Structure 1
């Protein structure tokens, strides 16, 4: 079986596996094959000689009393003390004896079974290594070409050596992809199945995807000069991002938006035209709520438990609510508060509007006093 060991070494090198992992896979494969072709209920162990790169398969047999019923029920697993004494005079009850067996004695069927077992266990190690690799990548942006779009509009993407799926529910509204398109997404889930292997799920609707795209597009975010404190999205419609700067020299909003909006527009384009509002984060809830309702101008904010009572001029209410309520929904998602809007009551009169035409006329007596008669 020397050739098989050499093949295993080459597989370890080719697949990038640790030699120890390959050896364990090989030992498991040999033991499973022995159970299949020699004795299903027997115990086996494998030893590998590092110098010769050959392996030896042993069958373990337990020493029991001569009248033990297990000798009749499972003669392949047990040996009587009398017989064992003939082999080794120092043997005692409960000891385990080992006898060398060879799969080669069982013909081509054993060799074929061993080959398939090795292939199976090596594949499991490869999948486990890949699983750990992609599990560590959860929450990062991945990209690849589209290989298939099924009838339910689930999009399949080739990411390195693994196929990932972008379900329709994780796709931005209004997006459609075709075979050959290269798309980006956030790695949301990694699973492994004995039948189907590694399973990756990608999303383009998570707020984390927006944050990672901003990190790629804005050097100040990547370098830690600007920090994304919170974000909220209604995918394909609008998003809000709360930012802070770690240096007083950096304007977090200006750095993220970029000159003439070039940076934020690049991210918006990747998100199918999603509008992105950048606001400066504040640890003071009242200020943060007021800023989150931008572009509306807020008069005051009062926090009551998980509710934010916002007072604002009547002409700002529609801006605070936004089209179809998007702005106030995003502000609530971003801040974590339920927002209640209260309009400021209109004042009875203001100086110019309350005056009559007669009151606005110049007093004749005042002219006389100023210029004389």
Structure 2
């Protein structure tokens, strides 16, 4: 097979493979073909002659003692020391002798087998390269047109040369898609199947999707001036995002919300109208919990292991809980604490000297000053 290397280089260019990967695939294909048409249990090796643009196939035979039973069981794989000495006087037990083999001597069946093996192994290398490409993209946003929606409402999307699936469980409640729609999602999982090839799964419900949308929409986040510390979502309903700024000249909440809410509204629209609360993160748990329960005004917060005991006026309790408990659930998800609410009677003007600790209302800014942030 003269000039076979030119053919392999051409295939590598067409498939977008590194030339060395294509050559390794070719070597594997030649060895597998030799095992199929010459000797299944024999050992072969392939050497590529770059200068003359062709390959050499060698069969390896191991030298064993005279009378070794393997000489009878596998005569193509082993040679006796006595016979080996006739070929090479310096040979020793355990050495490997090689003899060149030409697949062309085995007719058209060998050529056909080699063609199919090359096709198979090149395809495996292509799939492996694609797998590594998409695996590196896990956690990033991908988009593409909808090609099919099955009876179970799983949505199939074409992303470059691969088909991805958006399962119904990963879809925001209330969303529906039709063939031809272009949708975005976070790449959640990449798998490979011998029968079906590359398998991608995307999601629109992960908090990471919200974070990546904000990174695309808010230049300060993309540039690292604003950092998303934590986020929590109840997909399609409400979300909370905790933000910090790396520069004192940047307001993390204001930069993320944008003028008249234009930035946060663009993200909300992509998330099927999901309301997004932006708060400033604090490393002090008490302050962080108080801010997470916004818009409720909190009197005090006490941390006991994984529980946050929150004291607040009775007229703030409904705000802290939120509709169907959504606000307190998100605050708990965001902070990592189980939140317990304790009511106190509302007072219009608490006394700084005579009031009890339970009567004093401390807003988040007061807590900030109290803990020295």
Shorter-chain TM-score above 0.5:
yes
Gaps of 5+ in 1: 351-373
Q: Which moved more, 1:210-219 or 1:310-319?
A: 310-319
Bigger Cα displacement from structure 2, 299-308 vs 63-72? 63-72
* Matching of residue 344 in structure 1 with residue 344 in structure 2: yes
SS in structure 2 of the partner of residue 256 of structure 1: helix
Q: Which whole-Å CA distance do the structure 2 matches of 1:274 and 1:347 have between them?
A: 35
Alpha carbons of structure 1 residues 347 and 92: separation in structure 2 relative to 1, 3 Å: closer
Deviation, structure 1 residue 252? 0.9
The CA deviation at 1:188 is 0.7
Query: Which position in structure 2 is the counterpart of 1:172?
Result: 172
Instruction: Tell me the number of residue pairs that the alignment of Structure 1 and Structure 2 aligns.
Output: 351
Is residue 2:284 matched to residue 1:284? yes
Equivalence for 2:107: 107
Distance 2:349 2:115 in 1: 94
Aligned ranges for residues 129-208 of structure 1 at < 5 Å? 129-208=129-208
User: How big is the alpha-carbon RMSD for the aligned residues of Structure 1 and Structure 2?
Assistant: 1.7
How far does residue 92 in structure 1 lie from its aligned partner after superposition?
2.5
How far apart, CA to CA, are the structure 2 residues paired with 1:141 and 1:57? Answer: 47
Moved more, 8-17 or 317-326: 8-17
- Specify every segment of 5 or more residues in structure 2 that has no aligned partner in the other structure, as ranges: 351-373
Counterparts in 2 of 1:65-104, with a 5 A limit?
65-104=65-104
SS at the partner of 1:2? coil
In structure 2, what is the Cα distance between the partners aligned to 1:291 and 1:70?
78
Counterparts of 2:198 and 2:225, CA distance in 1: 37
Superposition TM-score, scaled by structure 2 size:
0.91
What corresponds to 2:359 in structure 1? Answer: none
Is 2:155–2:165's contact at 8 Å kept on the other side of the alignment? yes
| 8 A contact 2:33–2:110 mirrored in 1 | yes
- Report if aligned partners of 2:5, 2:50 keep a CA contact under 8 Å in 1: no
Contact 2:170 2:205 in 1 (8 A): yes
CA distance in 2, matches of 1:186, 1:112: 43
**Structure 2 contact 3–52 (Cα < 8 Å) conserved:** no
Aligned residue in 2 for 1:216: 216
- Single out whichever of 43-52 and 17-26 deviates more from structure 2: 17-26
- For the pair shown, the structure with the greater C-alpha radius of gyration is 1
Q: CA deviation at 1:123?
A: 1.0
Aligned 1:1-373 pairs, distance under 5 A: 1-345=1-345
